[in-house]
Structure 1
Amino acid sequence: MSNPVRLSVVGILVVIVFLFYWYEWRPSRVRAECQTSSADEAAALLRSKAAVESNQYLRAEMERAAEKGMFYAEDQERKYQNCLRANGLAK
């Protein structure tokens, strides 16, 4: 192969690798990281909600749920969407 042909092939491969990274690999990594961090943040939020709860029974239930790693789905979804926005994957 001549030098310009090799350069063209290398250039095309670089573009393909970059496009794969930007549109496939990076978003999947960001989504996985956002899923993990949003669950942790939602569980921490449940613990903080339990701390300010005035009803003793409800407070105890919320603390037990937080110890098990549970959280409100709405809190987790809100944290997840905020993380995606912060990383440029959602509007």
Structure 2
Amino acid sequence: MDSHFNQRSFASTANQVKSFTRKNKFALLIAALVLIVVYWQAIRPIRVNAQCTSEASHNSRILLKNKAESTTDWKQKEEYENLIKKNMYLRSDYEAYYKRCLRGHGIFL
């Protein structure tokens, strides 16, 4: 008897949902579009920014190591190695990688 009540309750709820959906199609469509726009304009750029920040930092450090290995100027090599020891990178390399990553995700600065 209890399962019969649950089936009837479920069917009743399903009918109510169908009725609500039919009556409010336009409002539901607008709500869905608003959610998509909020995601695309607010949430997505935040996620892309975090990813690009991490990528640019990592790639800039690798590039600095490669520059230190390939340079023939001992003074420049010493400067690069000091930055590497401090776990740093060149700002210009970071910015280039960061902008390239953002552009790759369709965000233009």
Q: SS in structure 2 opposite 1:69?
A: coil
Task: Please state how far the C-alpha of 1:87 moved relative to its aligned partner.
Answer: 0.7
Equivalent in 39, 42, 64 of residue 24 of structure 1: 42
State the identity as a percent: 26
Task: Please state how far the C-alpha of 1:17 moved relative to its aligned partner.
Answer: 0.5
Task: Please state how far the C-alpha of 1:3 moved relative to its aligned partner.
Answer: 4.7
User: Is 2:39 aligned against 1:44?
Assistant: no
Deviations 1:26-61 (A, max 9, x none): 111111111111011111110000001224454244
Distance 1:77 1:12, change over 3 A: same
Instruction: Give the superposed CA RMSD.
Output: 1.9
What amino acid sits opposite 1:51 in the alignment? E
Higher relative contact order (CA 8 A, sep 6+): 1
Aligned length in residues: 91
- List 4+ stretches of structure 1 deviating above 6 A: none
Q: SS in structure 2 opposite 1:24?
A: helix
- Name the structure 1 match of 2:87: 69
Question: Can you give the 5+ residue segments of structure 2 that lack an aligned partner in the other structure?
Answer: 1-18
Question: Can you give the 5+ residue segments of structure 1 that lack an aligned partner in the other structure?
Answer: none
Separation in 2 of the partners of 1:36 and 1:11?
Answer: 36
TM-score relative to the length of structure 1: 0.84
